[in-house]
Amino acid sequence: MSDIRLEKMNSTHIDDLAEIERACFSEPWSREGIAAELSNPNAVFYVAVQDGKAVGYGGMHHIVDVCYIANIAVLPEARRCGIGKKLLTALCDYAKEAGAAEITLEVRQSNRAAIDLYVKMGFETVGKRKDFYKKPTEDANIMTKNICNI
Ligand SMILES: CC(C)(COP(=O)(O)OP(=O)(O)OC[C@H]1O[C@@H](n2cnc3c(N)ncnc32)[C@H](O)[C@@H]1OP(=O)(O)O)[C@@H](O)C(=O)NCCC(=O)NCCS
């Protein structure tokens, strides 16, 4: 496998990220929705690039002292190579350097791959949101990581 490089999201990534969304989610973010994050002052998005093509990305919103992970996704053919962990590590490092107290996220309660990744990175399940997801309808686990534990 050739090297994976992390880049801050820019306008040249948008088409690849929309493709990743369609490959990963039943309700993908639109191209416009992703592009809107470029002008969001609270957004921090990293893109994993391999051979000039985006193969994964992770995004977060930083609001006061809480960082909210909005999304993390890796193309199916690029999974289990450490890209998800690399993206999440970059987001956690950003949160720590920015002085946030906590990182939080929602994840489908059946999403074993993502939950295992989050647990490995120090996140704990602290609650549920009933029927948070559609297509199919499913509860979300709320998971958080205290920055002091980084
Ligand atoms: C979740 C996701 C981002 C993980 O990306 P990835 O690049 O495959 O993850 P990594 O290779 O960095 O894996 C890191 C750790 O996560 C866990 N993990 C990843 N995929 C897993 C799987 N299919 N089953 C169980 N654990 C898994 C493991 O602990 C793994 O460590 P290991 O490989 O040493 O065992 C990827 O599966 C994905 O894009 N899923 C679809 C989108 C999604 O559900 N995003 C989360 C939204 S909340």
Please report which confidence band the pLDDT of residue 1 belongs to, taking 50, 70 and 90 as the band edges. Answer: low
Please report which confidence band the pLDDT of residue 68 belongs to, taking 50, 70 and 90 as the band edges. Answer: very high
At residue 149, does pLDDT exceed 60? no
> 85 alpha carbon to ligand 1 midpoint, in Å?
8
Residue closest to 61 by CA, chosen among 21, 108, 102: 102
Please report which confidence band the pLDDT of residue 150 belongs to, taking 50, 70 and 90 as the band edges. Answer: very low
The whole-model pTM stands at 0.96
SS3 assignment for the chain: CCCCEEEECCHHHHHHHHHHHHHHCCCCCCHHHHHHHHHCCCEEEEEEEECCEEEEEEEEEEECCEEEEEEEEECHHHCCCCHHHHHHHHHHHHHHHCCCCEEEEEEECCCHHHHHHHHHCCCEEEEEEEEEECCCCEEEEEEEEEHHHC
Q: Look over the chain and give the mean of its residue pLDDT values, rounded to a whole number.
A: 95
Among 74, 105, 108, the mutation site with the greatest number of ligand 1 atoms within 8 A of its Cβ is 74
> 74 alpha carbon to ligand 1 midpoint, in Å?
8
> 113 alpha carbon to ligand 1 midpoint, in Å?
4
pLDDT tens string 111-129 = 999 999 999 999 999 999 9
> For position 76, what pLDDT does the model report?
97
- Residue 111 structure tokens: 């999403």
Please name the residues in contact with 128: beta carbons below 8 A apart, sequence gap of 6 or more. Answer: 109, 139, 140, 141, 142
Query: What domains can be seen in the chain, in order of their start residue?
Result: 5-149 (3.40.630.30)
pLDDT tens string 26-61 = 999 999 999 999 999 999 999 999 999 999 999 999
Is 131 touching ligand 1 by the criterion CB < 6 Å?
A: no
> 80 alpha carbon to ligand 1 midpoint, in Å?
6
At residue 148, does pLDDT exceed 80? no
Question: Mean pLDDT throughout 79-87?
Answer: 97
